[in-house]
Amino acid sequence: MTTLEILIDALSRSRERFDRALDGVTVEQANTQPTPELAPRIDSLTWLAWHTAREIDLQISLMAGQEFVWVTGGHRERFALPLPDDTQDWHHTPEEAAQVVVNDLSVLTSYLDDSYAMAYSYMRSLTPESFDDVIDDSWDPPVTRAMRLVSIIDDAAQHSGQAVYTRRLLGLPG
């Protein structure tokens, strides 16, 4: 297995985990923060999936030098969130996270599908040599393309695992 195949496989596992977390869930359940009084930072399934699609979209699009799937795929209009386009979702308060809701789960899964597909396509375009390219020298040590991909994969793994946990807190099996 090549490094590229390993990275794509690692990313695909989080997408599969989101499918399991969302399986059989109603829109109401997906939009619910399961324990807002006890643990307000346990976000809804909707927020977790949206945030993951968004972080993949933003970071891969920037590396690829292309427009965000959020815009080109019409997801901004389908979600119609009451938040600015440049919302820094990793800094959302529980109140801001609660504003990320959908009326149809296909809106959510479509953005996940498009973001992951774009990531796979971009990753397949890379050469082994390009993994060592420094893409952000504002850090010490500077961030290479490989390091950024690992960071994206790690974040997606964390949030898809949180989605499974959130599902269980909602009293759903899985």
Interatomic CA distance for residues 168 and 17, integer angstroms = 13
| Predicted TM-score (pTM) of this structure | 0.94
What pLDDT is attached to residue 8? 97
Q: Are 56 and 115 in contact (CB under 8 A)?
A: yes
- HSE, CB side, 13 Å, CA atoms: give it for residue 73: 22
Query: What is the pLDDT confidence band of residue 88, given thresholds at 50, 70 and 90?
Result: low
Q: Are 84 and 71 in contact (CB under 8 A)?
A: no
Q: Say which residue, 93 or 104, is predicted with more confidence.
A: 104
Give the number of other CB atoms < 10 A from CB of residue 16. Answer: 10
Q: How large is the average pLDDT for residues 113-138?
A: 96
Per-residue pLDDT at 77 exceeds 80: yes
pLDDT digits 0-9 by tens, 47-70: 999 999 999 999 999 999 999 999
Per-residue pLDDT at 27 exceeds 70: yes
Residues with Cβ within 8 Å of residue 48, at least 6 apart in sequence? 21, 159, 160, 162, 163, 166
